[in-house]
Amino acid sequence: MSNKLSHPRGFLDDLEYAAGVPVVLSRYGFKKAKLNGKTYLIAMTREEAIELAIRVRGGSREHAEALVENECYGGGDFDVCHPFGRCTGCVRVGDIGAFFCQCVSHGS
């Protein structure tokens, strides 16, 4: 069995996969949302990530903005954050309903 999902015109062919599913990243993390009685993961907006940072980390809005404006993406496997740019390590920040990733170490 192929680890690729079929899609017209090969749209998904060159994506990263984990356990046969395309890896999805979100700059500002993910949240759970109910639509038509079913629960889905939806990418959060910058504003939603800032509100989450204030709720779980406390502090000022400026501090929360600094936490979410970093070089980490929330990963589609939802246990791993993916650093990019100068960031070399990330951690998940959030609660049971949502999370974003925060850079905690930078390379030179």
Measured CA to CA, the distance from residue 107 to residue 78 in angstroms comes to: 24
For residue 45, name the pLDDT band (cuts at 50, 70, 90). very high
Tokens of 14: 């060159």
Say what the pLDDT of residue 14 is: 86
Amino acid at 95: D
pTM above 0.75, yes or no: yes
pLDDT digits (tens, 9 = 90+) for 49-101: 999 999 999 999 999 998 898 888 887 666 678 888 889 999 889 888 899 99
For residue 8, name the pLDDT band (cuts at 50, 70, 90). low
Q: Is the dihedral of CA 71, 103, 105, 58 positive or negative?
A: positive
C-beta separation of 81 from 74 below 8 A: yes
For 92, the 3-state DSSP assignment is strand
The domain ranges of the chain are 21-106
User: By percentage, how much of the chain surpasses pLDDT 70?
Assistant: 87
